[in-house]
Structure 1
Amino acid sequence: MKHLILMRHGKSSWDYQVSDKDRPLKERGINDAHLVAEKYGQEGAKIDFAFSSPANRALHTSMIFLRNQGFDLNNFIISSELYDFSGSSVQGFVKRLDNDFDTVMIFGHNYAFTSLVNTWGDEYIENVPTSGLVHIKFKTDDWAKISKGTTEKIIFPKHLKQ
């Protein structure tokens, strides 16, 4: 079995005149990433390896989440292939993952993540929101052969706020 966890970056700020890759998280993005990380930590699977887009907002979200899990950052890589909005680059990246990893987490962007969770998962999701997490399980031991999987878990910040 292969498990893929996709988490969209937290809410970013447009208050600074910086490039898209350098946009920081808003306070809400930081808080939502902590909320989702805490919820996942209560019931989530052990992550073998994690990857992030190099964009500041995705990287910051990944650090918040992974530190909350006590994750070993030696099992973490930043990949420019994940700075993708269509999903085609992320899809190719996932299909080339090392088969030694059974559970992989990726931090990245929309529209790519909404497209991929609807391609690979069995639950339609209109939009993966900022700091949204979707865990999909595949009945294969080969990343190159993943196709339709089972949506195991959906954690969106709005579901955690009272």
Structure 2
Amino acid sequence: MSVAEPRRIVLFRHAKADWPQVSDHERPLADRGRMDAAVAGRKLADTGIAFDLALCSTATRTRETWKLAVHEFQHRPKTVYEERIYEASPGELIAVLNETPDDVRDVVLIGHNPGVHGLTDILSGEAEGDAQTRLNRRGFPAAAFALLTHSGSWKSLEPGVATLVDYWAPSE
């Protein structure tokens, strides 16, 4: 793959989690989270992107979100469960994405706030249409995702080099 072809990155926040008496890492999805994860999966499938790679936090709620979302896809990407995504800062998430092989074009990263929202803001040097307005109005609620494009290599991914192309969040 040529690095001249735009790469697509979806930053996907896990769906709504429950609050049982377990560690934060082990929190499962709430009933609403299970419904929203499937809806988000359908919305992601509607983009027509055949993701090459999914990078998913090891937390229970992110793994459950991804399992329900990817069920809606025609093509299931290779999935890597990455411990470093849990509680990661935007800079740590960039470091994870910088390690992506150059033959990978489209990536979905399933993670947590405030990291995924911060990363969306930091990477977005510009935005198309009203995506930035919608993001600013809604914030980054559970099960929301942002679609960004980047024309360079994964190693060149850094603040301000991407374009926010789309943003979606479940209705409340």
Query: Normalising by structure 1, what TM-score?
Result: 0.89
Which of 49, 55, 66 pairs up with 2:53? 49
Out of 147, 153, 157, the position equivalent to 1:135 is: 147
Please state how far the C-alpha of 1:62 moved relative to its aligned partner.
0.7
User: Does structure 2 conserve the Cα–Cα contact (< 8 Å) formed by 1:36 and 1:132?
Assistant: yes
Q: Does 2:159 align with 1:145?
A: no
* Bigger mean CA deviation after superposition, 30-39 or 50-59: 30-39
Residue 9 (structure 2) aligns with: 4
Match of 2:90 among 87, 92, 100: 87
What is residue 43 of structure 2 aligned with on the other side? 39
Distance 2:72 2:36 in 1: 13
**Given residue 64 of structure 2, which amino acid in structure 1 is its aligned partner?**
H
Secondary structure class of the residue paired with 1:59: helix
Aligned-pair Cα RMSD in Å: 1.5
1:13 aligns with 2:7: no
Q: Which runs of 5+ in 2 are unaligned?
A: 1-5
- Structure 2 CA distance, aligned partners of 1:71 and 1:60? 18
Using the TM superposition, give the Cα deviation of residue 56 of structure 1 relative to its aligned residue in structure 2, in angstroms: 0.3
- Identity, in percent, stands at 23
Offset of residue 70 of structure 1: 3.3
Deviates more, 1:121-130 or 1:44-53: 121-130
Q: Tell me by how many angstroms 1:101 deviates.
A: 0.4
The number of residue pairs the alignment matches comes to: 156
Following superposition, the deviation at residue 88 of structure 1 comes to 2.4
Amino acid at match of 1:130: A
Kept after mapping to 2: 8 A contact 1:84/1:90 = no
CA separation in 2, counterparts of 1:71 and 1:53?
A: 20
Query: Which runs of 5 or more residues in structure 1 are unaligned?
Result: none
- Does 2:125 correspond to 1:110? no
Per-residue Cα deviation, 1:1-37 (whole angstroms, up to 9, x for no partner): 21111100000011x1100110000011111111111
Spell out, residue by residue over 1:82-132, the C-alpha distance to the aligned partner (whole angstroms, 9 max, x if none). 112422221110111111101011100000011100011234434211000
